[in-house]
Every structure is written in structure tokens, then in C-alpha cells.
Structure 1
Amino acid sequence: MELLKKIIILSLVFVTVMSCNKLSDFFLPKGSCEDVASIFREIECLQIFEKLPAWDSPYMKSEGTHLLTGEKCVCEDDTRWLNTYRNILEKGDTIVKRKGELSFSIHKKDTVIVVKWECEGKVYE
């Protein structure tokens, strides 16, 4: 239960900080919100993490097992969006980011964290 409290607090702090346009500009590619949203919609990652992303890179490249095929796979995200959540990821967690969608979820043993994409204070679907 203590882990769940930490995760919730960490998530709320991160969402609060990311809602500040100046800081979110650092993490997001330049362009209109619609342009950036179209980039994020192309990302797909359906994976159980076995090897977490390298900490020395701003981009996510994780190794694991694909949820649908059961085969080994690598998830890559060159936008830095998914990678901003790597501090809450642990081996065995599952990430579900479907192509065409702007939200994703991190499934932990005792909780699911849903992340919605925001740009300039507006939540995009």
C-alpha cells in the first residue's frame, strides 16, 4: 500500500509540473499541438518490461515481451514522452500504448496508471 501512495503522489507531482508550458516545451517536439499529437499517435508499445530503458538516454528503448505475440520485442520512442515516466517503471511492469491513441497506461502489480497527453493546457484524445 505504501508503494501505491508513492506512485500516486509522484504521478500527481509530475502532472502538476508538466502542466507548466515552459517545462513541457522542453520535453515536447516543436510545432502546433495537432502536429505533435499526430507524432504521438504513431507510437505503439505493448510490452512487459524485462530490460528497462537506459538511464543515459533521453529516449525510450526498452526490451521485453510483446503482449499479443509473446515474442521478444523492443519499444522505442524518439519523442521523449514515454521516457519521462521511466522513473516509475520497474521490471515486470506492462506498458500499453496503442497506435492511433494519445493516452497510454502503465500496469503495475497493484495499480494502473493512465497518462493522457496534454498540450498547452488541453487534454487531447
Structure 2
Amino acid sequence: MMKKIIILLLVISLLSSCLKPDCEGIVDFYRKQECTIILEKEPSTSQAYLDLYGADMNTGKPCHCKDNSRWWSTFSDNMSVGDTLIKRKGELVFYIHKKDTILSFPWECEGKVYK
């Protein structure tokens, strides 16, 4: 009986360590993302990934930003038509500029805030 418990604990320990994200490896992916958009359409909540439609903040031309990682979608409830959304290449913060407020969302992994 004791052998079964030890084996079970080892299996659980191995599986739990495999489920942890590789934060250092993911950082580069997020640094490469870029989106500067004035939101003209409510973000769709029917998909796993976030599609943003609006005008490019710098040129005013129509643009589309897609978040394939689900980071941005975690705060899509804070996004409204007319907001300016900014994720600059090389940075690990996503900003939502509203009429009277600027919200900033730094990227976190396993409880650590990355800059």
C-alpha cells in the first residue's frame, strides 16, 4: 500500500511540474507583439482569441490586431469602442486609453511581473 502512495505522489509531482509555463521562454513572444489601434468595434467574446478592429493610431487607416496568445483577452471587459489600445513592440505592458483613464496591464507569469 505504501508503494502505491509513493508512486502516486511521484506521478503527481512530475505532472504538476510539467504543467508550469516556461515564463522565460514566453517573454520573447510577448515582446514581439505590437498593436496601436483606436477601437471601432466591440471585441468578440465568442472566440478563444481576441480580434480587434479599428483605425491605426498613427495613420488613421483601418487595421486589425489579433491576439493569438489570450493575454489581451483577459482584460477585454475593459475595452470599449473609442478606446485606444497600445501594445508596443519590445514592451510587456498593454495599455487601454479611455477618455479619462489609462489602464495598464503588465505581463505576469507565475506571480512575477515582467518588464
TM-score range, shorter chain: 0.7 to 0.9
5 Å matches for 1:1-125?
Answer: 31-125=21-115
Distance in 1 of aligned mates of 2:94 and 2:75: 11
Q: Which has the larger radius of gyration?
A: 2
**RMSD between superposed Cα atoms in Å:** 1.2
Q: How many residues align?
A: 96
Q: Distance in 2 between matches of 1:52 and 1:101?
A: 25
TM-score by length of structure 1 reads 0.73
Report the 3-state secondary structure (helix = DSSP H, G, I; strand = E; otherwise coil) of the residue aligned with 2:40.
Answer: strand
> 1:31 Cα deviation (Å)?
4.0
State how far apart, in whole Å, the 2-side matches of 1:46 and 1:67 are.
5
- Structure 1 position 63, deviation (Å): 0.5
Question: Which runs of 4 or more aligned residues in structure 1 lie more than 6 Å from their structure 2 counterparts after TM superposition?
Answer: none
1:58-113 per-position Cα deviation (integer Å, ceiling 9, x unaligned): 21111100011110000111000001111111100111100111111100111000
How far apart are the structure 2 equivalents of 1:31 and 1:118? Answer: 11
Alpha-carbon contact 2:43-2:79 (below 8 Å) kept: no
Q: Which 5+ residue runs of structure 1 have no aligned equivalent?
A: 1-29
TM-score (norm 2): 0.79
Cα distance in structure 1, aligned partners of 2:85 and 2:103:
10
Distance 1:123 1:86 in 2: 20
List gaps (5 residues or longer) in structure 2: 1-19
Identical counterparts, % of pairs: 46
Matches of 2:102 and 2:114, distance apart in 1: 20
SS at match of 1:51: coil
